[in-house]
Structure 1
Amino acid sequence: MPKQPVMSLPFPTSPVSGMDEPLSGREKRWRRWRRLSIFAVPSAVLLAALVYLSLQRASDLSVSAASVRTAEVETRQITEAAAFVGRVVPMDLVQLTAPETGRIATIHLRSGDTVQAGAPIVTLSNPERELAISDRLARIQAEMFTTSTAQTGLSDAGNQDRRAYLEAAHLRDEAAERLRRQEVLLERDLVNEAYVAPQREQLQFRTRVAEELRVVMERNGPSRRSQESAASAYLAQLRENQAATLGQLDGFVVRAPVAGRVLGLDLQTGEAVSAGDPLAQVDPGKGVLIVAQLDAFYVSRVRKGQPGSIEISGRVVPLEVAHVSPDIRDGGFRVELALRENVQLNPGQSLQGRIDLAASGAFPSIPAGPFLEQTSGSWIFVIDADGRTARRRNIRTGIRAPDRVAVISGLKTGERVIISSYRDFGDAKVIDLTGETP
């Protein structure tokens, strides 16, 4: 059988094309990044979603639905009023404090007793202090004696100068009179010149003595009067110091400055007190005021003269705002209210009342709850329709009654909100309500 010819295929001399063609370095890098991106992009999206969800959960809070109090937004007629709990205080109360440091020696009265002006209420005791005051008093009295003696000496010296001058002037005048008579006799030749000449010399001497004494008196007079005036002023000051020191000794007896009723006298014999410590109060009986602390929300709404009321044993007693202190302390301000009817009230008594403000109308409103302490009415937690989630929402509140708050924007009638305290909610924006509502 004849041999078949073997076909020979030519070996390609050019580079291989198609899938067997080798890739360049740039194409290899591009394909490698494309394969990585297929897995990296979904992974990054998933990671971002997880981070977002974890952050979202960090701001959430789970709260038992039974532990919160909720209410529905309702449209109601509201007359604005500020509720308060006030305390009855005397209209003009005199505070008595300890004038000295010491111990209570005697308590002359009891709280609630009536006292007359100047009557002792409490006597203090401090032997060491009393001895020091007595020693000071003795030194003041000794200084008074010395000053008074010096003043008397100055006065006596002035009197002596005046008396000496008057005596010298009197002798001068007598000498002048004698000379005049002798000169008359000389003119009539009844006496000679030798007899008259000594009289002239005597008059000249008496005149010179009187003149010198006058000069001395006038020279010493202003200085002496200045010294006497200074001594008088110093003596007056010493008398004031003596009176003050005697007052310090008497100050150990605390007396009533005015007549009235003693209040707040809660001391025991032997009890130690320091200077300035309150001891008691005296109510002169000029009437009482009701002092209340209102929320700072009302500081621009309450004015002097606005009406108010309190309820005593079922009777409504009208009030009037007598004074408003605009200073904000501890989130509130002080208001004083005067009674417009004669009612017997005891100092220290607590009363509930209201101050009527001008605004009124029908508004969507919610009950006034503890949440206002944390939010001041600027935001609130609103419950979703499913009742399982509450979300924080900004709102605007308007006028307030003692039991309700008008809502200007942010809420709709029929929505439910949380009105209990938010103190334990922290910075949560969303709250999960768990369990059953009571």
Structure 2
Amino acid sequence: MDRKIEKKKWNAKRITTIAGIAGIVLLVSGSIYFTSGKSKLNVDTERITISEIKKGPFQEFIPVNGVVMPKTTIYLDAVEGGRVEKLFVEDGTTMKAGQPILKLTNTDLELSLANEETSVFNVLTQMQISRDNAQQNTIGKLNQMAEVESALKEAERVFKLNKHLYEQKAIGLQEFKKSENEYLYAVNRKKLTTKILNQDSSSTKQQLTQMGESYDHMKSTLALMRKKVGDLIVRAPVDGQLTSMDAEIGQTKNKGQRLGQIDVLSGYKVRVDVDEHYISRVYNGLMGEFTLDKTYKLRIKKVFTQVTNGRFQVDMEFIGAIPKEMRRGQTLQIRLALSDETQALLVPKGGFYQQTGGNWIFKLSDDGKTAYRVDVQLGRQNPDYYEVLQGLQPGDKVVTSSYDTYGDMQELVLKN
């Protein structure tokens, strides 16, 4: 007789599956439990920087480098091209206005001057001849006028005499009419001679005026040509120091080519390079300062808006005293102020900003044993401080060194 065998409910496979599921549940539950609290990290206080939040004067400024330059620089360019024949001075010489620096030679220009001088001399000679001829012609006309006036007087005398004699019946009509005709002829001749003399005088005057104007024009051209030849000797335009001279004997210089410059030694300015990031915030009147033996003040006088290689330039002038040992080309480290000085809550700059972006910081607990994250809001900055707008109070202590090794830690346990 057959016997019914009952199936076992808890075999080894089922027990293993249930145990695995239970293990996973315990693992997940443990992870949730242990991660529900704050993650902590032990930190040695000797390896971090702890700073105190303070309220004090704050000014937004940027560090820039400036180069000392003469206040006024005049560039020397070749007004006329030519070959360098002679150097009168060397680079670095202190010059007086009008003192010669170098001499150029230009054969074509000198030949043009000689031709112009010859032309002016010919015109002057022709004018003299024309003036002499005009004077002789005028003298001849005046002599003719004198003869006409003399003839008129004689004809008038005879006519009046004959008229009286004719009225007295002493002479005949024929003789009277003859004297009358001669008198009228003399009157008309004088009118004609006077008209000719006036026309001749006006024509001569106009001719001499035109020739005078032509002569004056040629003299101006000659003076200009002489000036161009004179410009072959390059002279100092003002008192100052000759610098950056670029000329050697025998070298050919083209018209307009740079020969050097004169630095006026009456004062200095500072040429400063500024990052283009600040171009909208830099303008005339902004102040700066630098320190040598003491602190000196500067003010922006001119802004050059052209950007080159990510930077633009400004010129700054000295306000008040100038360092006694100041020299051309000296480099100054300047603090250029972008705002006025105000009272603000300050946190020293540090490596923390690279990881937090200024959005949070580790703040120490009251007992100084731990540091925990707090949200902050930072505003303006300068090379030393950030301006704290929210999240911290005066007297709070924070960790300002780098957070590179902290990862996502929420709390630091500080160990001595």
- TM above 0.5, one fold? yes
Between the aligned partners of 2:381 and 2:115, the Cα distance in structure 1 is 67
- One-letter amino acid of the structure 2 residue matched with residue 171 of structure 1: S
User: What is the aligned counterpart of 1:163 among 107, 118, 142?
Assistant: 142
Quote the residue 2:219 is aligned against.
239
Q: Which moved more, 1:356-365 or 1:294-303?
A: 356-365
For the Cα contact (< 8 Å) 1:175–1:206, is it kept in 2? no
Quote the residue 2:331 is aligned against.
350
User: What is the aligned counterpart of 1:338 among 317, 322, 333?
Assistant: 317
1:124 CA drift (Å): 0.9
Quote the residue 1:371 is aligned against.
none
Cα-to-partner distance string for 1:307-326 (whole Å, 9 max, x where unaligned):
222323x3221122222334
For the Cα contact (< 8 Å) 1:137–1:246, is it kept in 2? no
Quote the residue 2:298 is aligned against.
319
Cα-to-partner distance string for 1:306-358 (whole Å, 9 max, x where unaligned):
3222323x322112222233444443333221112343433333322122232
SS at match of 2:280: coil
Quote the residue 1:206 is aligned against.
186
Quote the residue 1:253 is aligned against.
233
SS at match of 2:338: strand
- One-letter amino acid of the structure 2 residue matched with residue 352 of structure 1: Q
Quote the residue 1:229 is aligned against.
209
1:397 CA drift (Å): 9.1
For the Cα contact (< 8 Å) 1:95–1:282, is it kept in 2? yes
Quote the residue 2:61 is aligned against.
81
Shift of the 98–175 alpha-carbon distance from structure 1 to 2, 3 Å rule, reads same
Shift of the 190–281 alpha-carbon distance from structure 1 to 2, 3 Å rule, reads farther
Between the aligned partners of 1:236 and 1:116, the Cα distance in structure 2 is 34
- One-letter amino acid of the structure 1 residue matched with residue 327 of structure 2: N
Between the aligned partners of 2:50 and 2:151, the Cα distance in structure 1 is 119
Shift of the 397–331 alpha-carbon distance from structure 1 to 2, 3 Å rule, reads farther
Shift of the 220–315 alpha-carbon distance from structure 1 to 2, 3 Å rule, reads same
Between the aligned partners of 1:110 and 1:232, the Cα distance in structure 2 is 47
Quote the residue 1:131 is aligned against.
111
Quote the residue 1:142 is aligned against.
122
- One-letter amino acid of the structure 2 residue matched with residue 334 of structure 1: Q
Quote the residue 1:269 is aligned against.
249
Cα-to-partner distance string for 1:15-36 (whole Å, 9 max, x where unaligned):
xxxxxxxxxxxxxxxxxxxxxx
- One-letter amino acid of the structure 2 residue matched with residue 351 of structure 1: L
For the Cα contact (< 8 Å) 1:400–1:406, is it kept in 2? yes
Quote the residue 1:64 is aligned against.
none
Provide TM-score, normalisation by structure 1: 0.59
- One-letter amino acid of the structure 2 residue matched with residue 118 of structure 1: G
Unaligned 5+ segments in structure 2 are 1-48, 358-376, 391-397, 405-416
Shift of the 207–274 alpha-carbon distance from structure 1 to 2, 3 Å rule, reads same
Question: Counterparts of 1:21-60 in structure 2 under 5 Å?
Answer: none
1:157 CA drift (Å): 7.5
SS at match of 1:111: coil
- One-letter amino acid of the structure 2 residue matched with residue 159 of structure 1: T
1:143 CA drift (Å): 4.3
Report sequence identity in percent.
19
For the Cα contact (< 8 Å) 2:349–2:400, is it kept in 1? no
SS at match of 1:237: helix
Quote the residue 2:153 is aligned against.
174
- One-letter amino acid of the structure 2 residue matched with residue 97 of structure 1: D
- One-letter amino acid of the structure 1 residue matched with residue 184 of structure 2: Q
1:165 CA drift (Å): 6.6
1:172 CA drift (Å): 5.2
Quote the residue 1:286 is aligned against.
266
Between the aligned partners of 1:101 and 1:205, the Cα distance in structure 2 is 72
SS at match of 1:305: coil
Cα-to-partner distance string for 1:65-104 (whole Å, 9 max, x where unaligned):
xxxxxx9999787521133222222223222211222222
- One-letter amino acid of the structure 1 residue matched with residue 256 of structure 2: G
Quote the residue 1:17 is aligned against.
none
Between the aligned partners of 1:151 and 1:184, the Cα distance in structure 2 is 48
1:364 CA drift (Å): 6.4
Cα-to-partner distance string for 1:235-272 (whole Å, 9 max, x where unaligned):
22111110011112212111222333333334322222
For the Cα contact (< 8 Å) 2:241–2:262, is it kept in 1? yes
Cα RMSD for the two superposed structures = 4.3
Between the aligned partners of 1:178 and 1:217, the Cα distance in structure 2 is 25
1:198 CA drift (Å): 5.0
- One-letter amino acid of the structure 2 residue matched with residue 204 of structure 1: L
User: What is the aligned counterpart of 1:95 among 66, 70, 75?
Assistant: 75
Between the aligned partners of 2:53 and 2:141, the Cα distance in structure 1 is 103
For the Cα contact (< 8 Å) 1:130–1:249, is it kept in 2? yes
Quote the residue 1:307 is aligned against.
287
Cα-to-partner distance string for 1:24-75 (whole Å, 9 max, x where unaligned):
xxxxxxxxxxxxxxxxxxxxxxxxxxxxxxxxxxxxxxxxxxxxxxx99997
SS at match of 1:243: helix
Cα-to-partner distance string for 1:191-239 (whole Å, 9 max, x where unaligned):
7467665543443233222222333345556555544433332222111
Shift of the 211–408 alpha-carbon distance from structure 1 to 2, 3 Å rule, reads farther
